[in-house]
Chains A and B, each alone.
Chain A
Amino acid sequence: MKRIGVFVCHCGINIAGVIDSKRVVEEIKKYPGVAYATDYVYMCSDPGQNLIKEKIKEEKLDAAIVAACSPSLHEQTFRKTVALAGLNPYQMESANIREQVSWVHEDKDVATNKAIRIIRSLVEKIRLNEDLTPFGIPVTRRAMVIGGGISGIQAALDIANSGYEVILVEKEPSIGGHMIQLSETFPTLDCSQCIMTPKMVELNQHPKIELLAYSEVEDVSGYIGNFKVKVRKKARYVDLDKCTACSECEKVCPVEVASDFDCGLATRKATYRPFPQAVPNAFVIEKTEPAPCKIACPIHQDVPGYMAMVRVGKYQEAINLIRKTNPLPGICGRVCYHPCEGVCRRNYVDETLSIARIKRFAADFALRSGEGVTPPEIEEQREERVAIIGSGPAGLSVAHDLALLGYRSTIFEALPVAGGMLAAAIPDYRLPQDVLQADIDYIKKMGVEILTGITIGKDLTIADLQDQGYRAIFVATGAHQGLELNIPGKDLEGIYQGIDFLRRVNLKGKVKIGRRVAVVGGGNTAMDAARTALRLGAEEVKIVYRRSRQEMPASDEEIKESEEEGVEFHYLLAPTAFLGKEGKLSGLRLIKMKLGEMDATGRRRPVPMEGTEHELPFDTVILAIGQAPELTFKDARSEFELTRWNTLVVDDKTLATNLPGIFAGGDVVSGPASVIEAIAAGKKAAVSIHRYLCGELEEYRSELEKEEEERREKEEVPEPDWAEVYKERARQKRVKVPELPRDDRIKNFEEVSLGYGEKEAQEEASRCLACGTCVECMECVKACEVGAIDHQMQDEIEEFDVGAIVVATGYDLFPLPEIGEYGYGKYKDVIDGLQFERLLSASGPTLGQIRRPSDGKVPKEVVFIKCVRSRDQERGMPYCSKICCMYTAKHAMLYKHRVHDGQPYVFYMDIRAGGKGYEEFVQRATEEDEVLYLRGRVSKVFQHGDKIIVWGADTLTGEKIEIAADMVVLSTAMLPNKATAELVKKLKLPTDPYGFLNEAHPKLRPVEFISAGLYLAGCCQAPKDIPEAVAQASGAASKVVGLFSSEELFHDPAVTGVDEDLCCGCGICVEVCPYKARKLDTEKKVVEVNLALCEGCGVCGAACPTGAAQPKNFTDKQMLEMVSGILRD
């Protein structure tokens, strides 16, 4: 049996004054297992410790209990003592009879009894204590510093100068933090940039430091000495190694946004360098999420890019940019149904941007000037030839994209002219012949052969094409067959199919038409037929549509223009019979409809209303109720799989039909759809055909599948409230597109829309919000002589092994828009301290002159308000932001130095100037620079003329004060940097209620976290000034260096392993372990433990149903025995 000794401490009278230690000794001696017991006045003193050592040896003790103060004070002391006497240190237990007994109880008897019970419970525990030895774990002697402000820079330099590698991660494109934004620093007034930039350069050039600018910590795992950190290196789009910082890219960038570095007081480009001394000294291109217009466009046309080019007058660049993705710009600029405009965020400001018409302007410019109409040189010509059936938008697009890939193709067109529906169905007043021809000519210039008047299936068969050596075939024959209306009288003379009618008018010119015309249907074909009928001289044209206007599929523009031209619309009306006289049409019998249930298309089904039948006289009826493909090309050898609507079945990813080498797209697959969708299909097919001809179609298909899966898995980021985001944007109405006057229109087929002129196009393009920031106009690529720009760059994730992490993420200022009562946001001349620093800075937006933001005037009276939202329990932060007293004194002083006849006022609560030279500095401000300090809070700030009136009270004199100021500077509360909150989650860091990081101990461990291996420095911990931040950083660095001083560190052995014989492999402990120390070995069906990760909390021990997980020296058995021991009277 274990021989246990008990040593009872008097702690002077602290313990012995209440507890009868003699009785304790007597009683405990009787307890089973206790071989020896004694008391002493100060057990922690040298004689006390010697007593323990001697008695352990003399009495041959196996374990010792020291009944004294709390284990948090002397557990380690006494463990060392027993170790010196030859025992394992874990054979010592502290019985806390001071803090939890003698100091809190007065009754001697009661206290003595409680002390005895506590000691008994520890006797029970120690009886079963195992000898434990700390185990070594290797240390990766490389540190990571998160944050590149002054604290991070200092910590990194100190660690690196001690000979260890450092990785510094900074989320911004340059290191420097807030300090590099400052003008001069208190109390010495040395220039911030002058003392900061050498440090930044030293860091960048240090052989032991790897700088990861524009990078963010993505994930952290591991433990002290052995962290694994995943870092996202954000795509900079500029190669750091190649960029020479010549700034040519910046000059040509058309996008201007507010400069964060200048706190919104100036603008910068989307291609930028935060400030000239940036480190690394390289540019970066800011790309936020892709613009919604680009996403909505079926071919993902780069809209913001050509908007920017038109705005700055670079029309040729605009058309070149459009042509990069769009083979038919002139056509799309006119007849595209522009889904891009539907999602345009300008809508949240006023009205959507007129995107299609700006495209038309660019295309017309090219046509007029003859610039941008020459196709690019194709570098590599390929052997394989491709046959395309149909010269509509799908056929033209596939030919265009195949030509770019080096393939020669031949388009076979059944009609006598090229263009498919564009030529046959869209009237000239919407799409003039020359515009269509220009786009077709461009494609012809690329080497595409167009053979008109050849119908595949009649003149040639698909088999013939294959025999002639075409290695792939693309079927794009469209949907040219009008659907019939199966009602009595359908064979009467005077009934046309809309599509046939339009084709005849377009290709042959005149078609005979009656005086009274009815058009049945509600799509664009119906509108075109009606408007064409008007132009051919019909006196009255009525559109008969069985649903309501809401369900009508025609574009709003066409409906509007039809109405303007005098077409009559009859909704909820359907024909039931054609009426005729002597084989000729004389009218329609019609019935009124009402809307019933939703049908499969999501539209409400029209239902006839009984008893509403009536007749109307007509000379001509044009049917435009839908179209289907004509499958003339089908023959015995080519059995295409068809849908029940007679469209071709294709693979939705590659557009391959069931026949090898034959692809299809456009209306023949989708049924009647839009031009842009046909173009998209053509472009998609071009890539498929290319991969097919390379023998990689299957591979391509799985690539596409993978892409789609990735897209599906991507979490959708919730959209911000755009209306709120753009609240401050200046309103600017959409520029109207000039049109032919109504009366001029219906006499001829002249184009109705006249398009923008240069001025209007520029004005309209300037309304673009440049949603993605970078508009991908590629001007920077052209301007960069060293080829450093790569718009295809992707974020990279790299994993680093580090042994220690220093967090130095810094601060933000209290968001100004939330400080309404001081007029921020309403009045331009109310700014914050950091903005004032930029005004003071020689490299700032005013080059160091104090000029107010609203009108650039030099302010003669400036009011500084301190403690804005700090020391404000009700509306802000209860804490003191610590640096404001000093920087406000500095601001007021520097203002006075620049504006000699100006008067600075400071409203303050208290002046806190504790620090070397600080109080003297404030004195200087008041005495030498005549800064007027007013003790009191400001009650109101409001604009009056060009002055800002500040109402306040001087609580020292009790007077009410009114100052007509030119500018107001708010000293706002410091908050933890926004990025800190993210990091808190990833590193599981403790914070205070405001989000500042909590150090391990507020006095004794100020630069480390409670979790081992993690350290902190700077304002992420609390507001502090530069010297304090630097001192803390050096402190954290020295802690890191201390950790790295040996190759191994020792882990507390009080951990929880696993008894494999008892483990049933249920895995419950794996789930409850917060350190991922436990893992289920699925083969052995038992849990395995990485003891280095175990922190010894014992949660697994409580969860384990079999007792296989036993926290060392806190086993279930020990705990149960302790319970018995402590309850025994």
Chain B
Amino acid sequence: MVFEPKIVGFLCNWCSYAGADLAGTSRMAYAPNVRPIRVMCSGRVDPTFVIKAFLEGADGVLVAGCHPPSDCHYQEGNLKAMRRVPLLKKMLKQLGIEEGRLRLEWVSASEGEKYARVVNEFTEQVRALGPLDWKIPQPKGGKN
């Protein structure tokens, strides 16, 4: 059986969620693996949300926001995401999660086609990485 990855997609309300809607109104079929969660801004995505997703069984996490530098509805929330996600990737790597399981994309409200493409690409990317079997690294034995 083909492995169907579970992916959580955090989509910013103004650009990427609207872009996903546009893919829908344009009837562009794409992989069903991304499960969308609407946030007001990609800058709202707290790293703990991503970690929580991996903990709860996600194989990949997509964060999508408005194009930098100036598309952001909230002026610069996307720039916050732009700085947070790479740092988070480094941290996840140390925890044993491949960087390829987290992806930050800029999708504007007019880029339905791009949203569909990103979802397909990312699904394949995570599929190739295989299921994530993540155990939280426990402190080594002994007295503290």
Is A118 an interface residue, CB under 8 A from the partner? yes
In chain A, residues 1080-1107, which have Cβ atoms closer than 8 Å to a Cβ of chain B? Answer: 1095-1099, 1101-1103
Q: Are A1126 and B27 in contact (CB under 8 A)?
A: no
Who on chain B is nearest to A1074 by CB?
B75
Q: Does B38 contact A (CB under 8 A)?
A: yes
Q: Mark A949-981, 1 if CB is under 8 A from B, else 0.
A: 000000000000000000000000000000000
Q: Is residue A586 within 8 Å, beta carbon to beta carbon, of the partner chain? A: no
B80 near A1072: Cβ-Cβ < 8 Å: yes
Query: How many angstroms between the C-alpha atoms of A1054 and B24 in the bound complex?
Result: 27
Binary contact readout B4-32 vs A (1 if CB under 8 angstroms, 0 otherwise): 00101000000001101101110111101
A338 interface hit (Cβ, 8 Å) = no
Tell me, yes or no, whether B73 is within 8 Å of chain A by CB.
yes
Q: Which A residues between 246 and 262 are near B, CB-CB below 8 angstroms?
A: none
**Per-position binary interface string of chain B over residues 69-87, scored 1 when its CB falls under 8 Å from any chain A CB and 0 otherwise:** 0110111110010001000
Q: Does A1123 contact B (CB under 8 A)?
A: yes
With A100-B20, A104-B30 as known contacts, state yes or no: A1126 contacts B116, CB within 8 Å.
no
Q: Does B135 contact A (CB under 8 A)?
A: no
The yes or no answer to B118 lying at the interface (CB within 8 A) is no
B16 to chain A, nearest CB (A): 11
Q: Are A1102 and B43 in contact (CB under 8 A)?
A: yes
A350 at the interface (CB under 8 A from B): no
A1010 interfacial contact with B, CB 8 Å: yes
CA distance A105 to B46 in the complex (A): 29
* Cβ B40 vs Cβ A1126 within 8 A: no
A1102, B52: Cβ atoms closer than 8 Å: no
Q: How far is the CB of B97 from chain A (nearest CB, A)?
A: 15
Q: Is the CB of A121 within 8 A of B37?
A: yes
Q: How far is the CA of A430 from the CA of B70 in the complex (A)?
A: 66
The answer for the CA separation of A1098 and B44 in the assembled complex, in Å, is 5
Task: Choose, from B53-61, B98-106, B121-129, B136-144, the stretch at the interface.
Answer: B53-61
B61, closest chain A residue (CB): A1123
Min CB distance, A215 to chain B, in Å? 27
Subset of 27 A-B contacts with CB under 8 Å: A72-B17, A72-B18, A96-B38, A100-B24, A104-B23, A104-B24, A118-B35, A1054-B40, A1074-B75, A1097-B74, A1098-B39, A1098-B41, A1098-B43, A1098-B44, A1099-B74, A1102-B45, A1103-B80, A1116-B46, A1119-B39, A1120-B48, A1123-B37, A1123-B52, A1124-B52, A1126-B35, A1126-B37, A1127-B8, A1127-B57
Whole-angstrom CA separation of A1127 from B50 in the bound complex? 12
Q: Which residue of chain B is the closest to A70 with respect to CB atoms?
A: B21
Taking the closest CB of chain A, its distance from the CB of B77, in whole angstroms, is: 5
Task: Provide the residues of chain A in CB contact with B41, threshold 8 Å.
Answer: 1097-1099
* B29 contacts A1102, C-beta separation under 8 Å: no
Q: Is the CB of B56 within 8 A of A1123?
A: yes
Interface membership of B68, Cβ < 8 A: no
A-side residues, CB < 8 A to B, are 70-72, 96, 98-101, 103-107, 110-111, 114, 117-118, 121, 988, 990, 1010, 1054, 1072, 1074-1075, 1095-1099, 1101-1103, 1111, 1114, 1116, 1119-1120, 1122-1124, 1126-1128
State how many angstroms separate the Cβ of B40 from the closest Cβ of chain A.
Answer: 5
Partner of A1127 from the list B18, B35, B80, B116 (CB cut-off 8 Å) is B35
Smallest CB separation, A27 vs chain B (Å): 15
Contact partner, B32, options A71, A114, A1075, Cβ 8 Å: A114
Taking A1010-B73, A1074-B76, A1098-B44 as known contacts, 20 extra A-B pairs with beta carbons closer than 8 A to each other, sorted by chain A number, are A70-B24, A96-B38, A99-B23, A104-B30, A105-B32, A106-B29, A121-B35, A990-B70, A1075-B75, A1095-B74, A1097-B40, A1102-B80, A1103-B80, A1120-B49, A1123-B37, A1123-B49, A1123-B56, A1124-B52, A1127-B6, A1127-B53
The one of B21, B73, B80 in contact with A72, judged by C-beta atoms closer than 8 angstroms, is B21
CB distance from B90 to the nearest CB of A (A): 17
Q: For the complex formed, measure the closest distance between the CB of B113 and the CB atoms of chain A, giving whole angstroms.
A: 12
Q: What residues on A are CB-neighbors of B18 within 8 Å?
A: 72
- Chain A residue, CB-CB nearest to B36: A100
Interchain CA distance A247-B106 in the complex, whole Å: 59
CB distance from B100 to the nearest CB of A (A): 19
Bound-complex Cα distance A99 to B6 (A)? 20
Is B74 in contact with A104, judged by CB distance below 8 angstroms?
A: no
Partner of A117, one of B35, B52, B84: B35
Which B residues are CB-close (under 8 A) to A121? 35, 37
Please give me the residue from chain A that is nearest to B14 by CB atom. Answer: A1010
- Cα distance A1102–B17 in the bound complex, in angstroms: 19
Q: Which residues of A contact B44 (CB under 8 A)?
A: 1097-1099, 1101-1102, 1111, 1114, 1119
| Docked complex Cα distance between A1111 and B28 (Å) | 33
Asked if A103 and B32 make an inter-chain contact with CB atoms under 8 angstroms apart, the answer reads no
* Bound Cα distance from A1123 to B21, whole angstroms: 20
**In the complex, chain B residues whose CB is within 8 Å of the CB of A1126:** 8, 35, 37
B23 to chain A, nearest CB (A): 6
CB distance from A1113 to the nearest CB of B (A): 10
From B17, B38, B48, B53, residue with most partner A Cβ within 10 Å: B38
A1124 touches B39 (CB 8 A): no
Cβ B53 vs Cβ A1123 within 8 A = yes
Given A1103-B80, A1127-B57, also A99-B43 (CB < 8 A): no
Contact B77 A1097 (CB under 8 A): yes
Q: Are A988 and B75 in contact (CB under 8 A)?
A: yes
A105 to B27 Cα, complex, angstroms: 9
Q: Which residues from chain A contact B116 at a C-beta distance below 8 Å?
A: 104
Given contacts A1099-B77, A1114-B44, contact A103 B27 (CB under 8 A): yes
Q: In the complex, what's the smallest C-beta–C-beta distance from A995 to chain B, in angstroms?
A: 12
Instruction: Kindly list chain A residues whose C-beta atoms are within 8 Å of the C-beta of B58.
Output: 1123, 1127
With both beta carbons as reference points, the residue of chain A lying nearest to B76 in the complex is identified as A1074
CB atoms of B32 and A107 under 8 A apart: yes
Collect the chain B residues with CB atoms within 8 Å of residue A103's CB: 24-25, 27
Q: What is the minimal beta-carbon distance from B141 to any residue of chain A, in angstroms?
A: 30
List chain A residues, Cβ under 8 A from B35: 114, 117-118, 121, 1126-1127
How long is the Cα–Cα vector from A1072 to B72 in the complex, in angstroms? 14
Residues in B whose Cβ lies below 8 Å from that of A1119: 37, 39, 44, 46, 49
Separation in Å of the A747 CB from the closest CB of chain B?
77
Residue from the set B23, B32, B71, B77 with the largest chain A CB neighbour count within 10 Å: B32
The 6 closest A-B pairs by CB, nearest first: A99-B24, A1098-B44, A1097-B74, A1099-B43, A103-B24, A1074-B75
Contacts of A110 in B (CB 8 A): 32
Q: Hey, which chain A residues are within 8 Å of B6, CB to CB?
A: 1127
With A1123-B37, A1126-B8 in contact, do A1101 and B46 touch (Cβ < 8 Å)? yes
Nearest opposing residue in chain A for B38, CB measure: A71
Interface centre among A121, A1074, A1116 (most CB of B within 10 A): A1074
In the bound complex, what is the Cα–Cα distance between A1072 and B77 (angstroms)? 8
Tell whether, in the assembled complex, residue B43 and residue A1097 are in contact, meaning their CB atoms are under 8 Å apart.
Answer: yes
Please give, as numbers and ranges, the residues of chain B lying within 8 Å of A1103 by CB-CB distance: 80
CB distance from A952 to the nearest CB of B (A): 38
- Would A99 and B21 be within 8 Å (CB), given that A1114-B39, A1123-B56, A1126-B8 are in contact? yes
A99's partner among B20, B57, B73, B77 (CB-CB below 8 A) is B20
Q: Is the CB of A1116 within 8 A of B40?
A: no
- Residue from the list B20, B29, B57 in contact with A105, Cβ < 8 A: B29
Cα distance A99–B52 in the bound complex, in angstroms: 26
Do B52 and A1074 have beta carbons less than 8 Å apart? Answer: no
Assembly CA distance A71 to B45 (angstroms): 20
> Which of B25, B40, B74, B75 sits near A1114, CB closer than 8 Å?
B40
Query: In the complex, which residue of chain B has the Cβ closest to the Cβ of A1101?
Result: B44
| Complex CA distance for A1112 and B32, rounded to whole angstroms | 30
